[in-house]
């Protein structure tokens, strides 16, 4: 089966525009994560979805960032009024992880966002 | 807190030597600790993981140890090879949230 798929692979946008990044997790994976990775930096946690529970949005850097997960599958990360500091690779991961036990989280190839 | 601290940030080793990366976590409820390897321009991939009911796990040249009392865990790579050069991330599952350390850039010189 297919792995985690993200689209687009690359996105160049003008400052002030809104962007939507898409993540298709592995079928059946209940947990879905969004991370941001700036050049040469670590994996900054953004948001976490687990089944039908309310998402953990504690990592979203500002109210310009939002995410949703429809039907427990596909997720969309939206950045409104993009700024140059939003330029980064946005990585999505999915897993069968539950809060009380861990299993491998698989990453997508990422979306490279460049704000000009 | 929910921090995962990782050290060192960079590590240069001679081919054939060992490399050790150390991480600490703050949430005593953490129960799953994966390690990911990220090669340049690629996605992070799991190389080994350990659960909180185990103190040590080994897979060929890599091993991970966990000290729950001290809340730290380590990655050990023996007989390093040039293809081990990459960024390595530790992580801790903290109440469902997978929190990563800042990463260690490992460079293996021939």
* Residue in A closest to B47 by C-alpha: A104
Say if residues A88 and A38 touch (Cβ distance below 8 Å): yes
> Rounded to whole angstroms, what are the CA distances from A56 to A31, A105, B104?
11, 17, 27
Average pLDDT, whole number, for chain B? 94
Q: Is A71 helix (H, G, I), strand (E, B) or coil?
A: helix
Grade residue B77 by pLDDT with cuts at 50, 70 and 90.
Answer: very high
Which residues does residue B105 pair with via DSSP β-bridges, in sequence order? B10, B87
Q: Is B61 in the A-facing interface, judged by CB distances under 8 Å?
A: no
To test the contact with chain A by mutation, choose from B98, B99, B104 the residue with the greatest count of A C-beta atoms within 10 A, namely B98
Task: Please confirm whether the linkage preceding B92 is cis (ω < 30° from 0).
Answer: no
Q: Are residues A102 and B102, on separate chains, in Cβ contact within 8 Å?
A: no
Question: Is pLDDT at B43 greater than 50 in this prediction?
Answer: yes
| Through-space distance between the first and last CA atoms of chain B, rounded to whole angstroms | 41
Question: Is pLDDT at B1 greater than 50 in this prediction?
Answer: no
Q: Is A43 in the B-facing interface, judged by CB distances under 8 Å?
A: yes
Q: What are phi and psi of B62, to 5 degrees?
A: -115, 145
Mean pLDDT of B34-48: 95
Nearest to A102 among B93, B100, B101 (CB): B93
pLDDT in tens, A39-89: 878 899 999 998 888 999 999 999 999 999 988 799 999 999 999 999 999
């Amino acid at each position: 089966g297919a792995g985690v798929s993200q689209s687009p692979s690359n996105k160049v946008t003008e400052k002030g525009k809104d962007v939507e990044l898409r993540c298709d997790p592995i079928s059946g994976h209940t947990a879905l994560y969004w991370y941001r990775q700036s050049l040469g930096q670590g994996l900054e946690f953004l948001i976490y979805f687990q089944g039908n529970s309310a998402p953990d949005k504690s990592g979203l850097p500002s109210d310009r960032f939002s995410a949703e997960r429809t039907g427990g599958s596909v997720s969309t990360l939206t950045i409104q009024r993009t700024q140059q500091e939003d330029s980064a690779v946005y990585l999505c991961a999915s897993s069968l992880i539950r809060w009380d036990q861990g299993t491998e989280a698989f990453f997508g190839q990422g979306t490279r966002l460049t704000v000009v | 807190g929910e921090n995962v601290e990782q050290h060192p940030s960079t590590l240069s080793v001679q081919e054939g030597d060992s490399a050790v990366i150390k991480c600490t976590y703050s949430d005593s409820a953490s129960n799953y600790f994966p390690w990911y390897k990220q090669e340049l321009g690629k996605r992070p991939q799991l190389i080994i993981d350990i659960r909180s009911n185990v103190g040590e796990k080994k897979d060929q040249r890599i091993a991970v140890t966990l000290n729950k009392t001290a809340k730290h865990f380590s990655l050990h790579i023996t007989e390093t090879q040039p293809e081990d050069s990459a960024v390595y991330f530790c992580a801790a599952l903290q109440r469902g949230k997978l929190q990563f350390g800042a990463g260690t850039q490992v460079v293996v010189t021939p």
